[in-house]
Amino acid sequence: MPKYNRVLLKLSGEVLAGDKHFGLDFDAMRRIGAELAAVYNAGIQLCMVVGGGNMLRGRDIQTLGIERAQADYMGMLGTVINALGLQDVLEKLGVPTRVQTAIEMRAVAEPYIRRRALRHMEKGRVVIFAAGTGSPFFSTDTTAALRAAEMGADCMVKGTKVDGIYDKDPKTHADAKFLSRITYREALRDGIEVMDASAFSLCRENGIPILVLDVQSPGCLVSALVKGERIGTIVEEGEPE
């Protein structure tokens, strides 16, 4: 039996780009979609927040002289493109999906309404949240933590290109130590950069464990969420092991 009943998956935009590093790689998206379909078919209620880093990042284009709020709005629109692409992939796999956006664009998606999103999941639909919070200066990580709390998620999965959290950057430190479990307090104290502090704090305040996984690793979502295997890093309350 699955460990969690309702899960929010934060999916980075870079993952949807696959090896292309920019835009959408539909082969990569179909592979991820097939895993999501397997999780869904196991009876787990799913909702998602997608990033937009494969299109553009607000903080990156800000360096080009674009005003910060304007840059963030541009980044939010990139997440909508990703959400619509992922919706198409999932529905072709037989998974009923709804996209809700924090910025209204009724011709392509529903506006974000909390109770409607909850009802969709109760009816067996996957909900993809796009356009961040609808306000600038907030990351999609913070959006994910907020939506996880609003949806009453049992767990928030941070899907990235790394297999978990290390005490140092493993790309630059050969002696980096893998951490299978840490507490929210440790993540905030040590400035763990896999998510921003506000996202960690929101999950801590609402008692939502965070599971950090490499979603590019085949089968990881099914292994962790359906089979209950201990992979990746779990961030939760309590004393360190």
CATH of the domain at 81: 3.40.1160.10
The predicted structure's pLDDT at residue 107: 96
Residue 73 lies in a domain: yes
The predicted structure's pLDDT at residue 240: 47
Residue 1 lies in a domain: no
**Residue-range definition of the domain harbouring residue 112:** 6-236
Global confidence as pTM: 0.93
Residue 216 lies in a domain: yes
Residue 88 lies in a domain: yes
Residue 241 lies in a domain: no
The predicted structure's pLDDT at residue 239: 60
Residue 32 lies in a domain: yes
The predicted structure's pLDDT at residue 158: 97
Residue 161 lies in a domain: yes
Residue 15 lies in a domain: yes
Question: How many domains does the chain divide into?
Answer: 1
**DSSP string covering the chain, please?**
--S-SEEEEEE-HHHHHGGGSSS--HHHHHHHHHHHHHHHHTT-EEEEEE--TTT--HHHHGGGT--HHHHHHHHHHHHHHHHHHHHHHHHHTT--EEEEESS--TTTSEEP-HHHHHHHHHTT-EEEEESTTSSTT--HHHHHHHHHHHHT-SEEEEEESSSSEESS-TTT-TTPPEESEEEHHHHHHTT-TTS-HHHHHHHHHTT--EEEEETTSTTHHIIIIIS----SEEEESS---
Per-position pLDDT tens, the chain of length 241:
788 999 999 999 999 988 887 899 999 999 999 999 999 999 999 999 999 988 876 667 777 889 989 989 999 999 999 999 999 999 999 999 999 999 999 999 999 999 999 999 999 999 999 999 999 999 999 999 999 999 999 999 999 888 999 988 888 888 999 999 999 999 999 988 889 999 999 999 999 999 999 998 999 999 999 999 999 999 998 764 4
